[in-house]
Amino acid sequence: MKIDDGKIGQAFELAQNSLRACYLDGKIIASPMRFSDFWARDSFFAVGGCLEIGDFEVVRETLKFFLDNQKSDGKIARKFVRDFNGLKYLFKKSIWRKKPRAIYASLIRPFNTMDSNSLCLIAFGKYLNKTGDLEFAQHYYEKLKKSLEWYNPKKKDGLIREYFLSNWMDTVFKSGRVLYTNVLYAESLKVISEIAKRLGQDQDSQEYEKIFKKTSLKIEESFWSGNYFDDILGGRKVFDSAGNALICALQITSADKCLKVLEHFEKIRKGILIPTVSPRHSFWKINPLAIFLGLGEYHNGKCWLWIDLLLALGWQRIGRKKEAQAILQRISSNLLKNGAIHEVYHENGQPYEPKFWKSAKPFAWNSGIFLEVCREILAEGENLEV
């Protein structure tokens, strides 16, 4: 797809180059700067963008790599490390391993990272929809099912329960039933139901669809606070941007609730980008190591581009194209101003670079989602309404 609308077109080209700079050995890494490992989360979020620029084989190899190294219980690795990470992050020195080492646990053992499995399924669904590669899907179908079944012992009252540092906010201590994790789980149920149907597994498809509907209803009933979805059940009322953006972009909730959520986002917006949470988490919920390194705001008030892009997608999917395109225009202008796609930002759109940390660039996750959102918001030949 060619997008040639001024700044958005230039930003699209920037994102394409940025994403391709994050390919290594035919697969996706998070970033050549500091995050040069094969991270499940970053890779799978970037998959949609890879597909939009025709890099199907990169996606196929990335999916194959993670699924071929799935644990016997169904767990998908959190990442494959290529060096000794402690030396890299603390002393900026890399000693390379002979081969990548799979890491399955979260930052605190024995707890598991909770989103790798669901994100793998969602990424696989995107690949299948784009390529029609039924042979590949058939080959990995049992592994996909096992990825989903891994969640079953972790449910409480129909929702996934997690423990500390187990989702994308791995500097924030969250425990319990978390919105972000459960929204992704619901989406993965919907995706595997569709995969099963395409493979002629009608009974599986119907069963997964039934669980998806129950899970989606449970999320709405349990997390809805009146204007947005709460971050954690039973915890302090915090507006979590990632979970709320995902539930709108993935259409796990009704259009009416989505509109209320999107309007709440605009209420808390103070600059170009939206902060990760509002209000911020209490200091005692932040990993002390992150505070020591000056990164206490990393997931606690700073901004991640992919969240704003999902907001644009949310507006688009309830038929509010003008709002969607306005966000895309604003982000495009900011990307061109910075000349790169970074990892994390201040609300004014400047890269987040405290004393001991430089926001990684290029960054696959943000780049891939930018490309994917552009595809949907600006269909070929469509004029901007802004």
Q: Give the global pTM.
A: 0.95
Other Cβ atoms less than 10 A from the Cβ of 82: the count is 19
* Dihedral sign (CA 30, 312, 310, 61): negative
Residue 336: CB atoms within 10 A of its CB come to 15
3-state DSSP call for residue 153?
A: helix
Whole-number Å distance between alpha carbons of 310 and 324: 9
66, 133, 137, 314 from 126: Cα distances, Å: 16, 11, 11, 18
- Among candidate residues 148, 154, 155, 151, the one with its CA nearest the CA of residue 208: 148
- Cα distances from 200 to residues 124, 136, 139, 197, 368, in angstroms, run 17, 14, 14, 5, 31
Backbone angles phi, psi at 146, to 5 degrees: -65, -35
For 376, the 3-state DSSP assignment is: helix
Annotate 118-135 with b (16+ C-beta within 10 A) or e (fewer). Answer: bbbbbbbbbbbebeebee
The DSSP-derived string for 113-151 is PSSHHHHHHHHHHHHHHHH--HHHHHHHHHHHHHHHHTT
For tokens 């009608």, name the residue.
Answer: 202
Q: Would you state the pLDDT for residue 93?
A: 62
CB neighbour list of residue 76: distance below 8 Å, 6 or more residues apart = 40, 66, 67, 70, 104, 116, 117, 120, 147
Q: What end-to-end distance do the CA atoms of the chain give, in Å?
A: 21
pLDDT tens over the chain, length 386 residues? 455 558 999 999 999 999 999 999 999 999 998 888 999 999 999 999 999 999 999 999 999 999 999 999 999 999 999 876 655 555 566 666 788 899 999 877 778 999 999 999 999 999 999 999 999 999 999 999 999 999 999 999 999 999 999 999 999 999 999 999 999 999 999 999 999 999 999 999 999 999 999 999 999 999 999 999 999 998 778 999 999 999 999 999 999 999 999 999 999 999 999 999 999 999 999 999 899 889 999 999 999 999 999 999 999 999 999 999 999 999 999 999 999 999 999 999 999 998 888 899 999 999 999 999 999 998 744 544 43
Query: Looking at this protein, which amino acid is placed at residue 29?
Result: I
Identify the CA nearest to 124 among candidates 72, 74, 196: 196
Rounded Cα distance, 374 and 377, in Å: 5
**Domains along the sequence of the chain with CATH:** 6-377 (1.50.10.10)
Largest CA distance in the chain: 56
3-state secondary structure of 27: strand
Measured distance CA(127)–CA(229) in Å, rounded = 29
The single residue listed with the structure tokens 């990892």 is 343
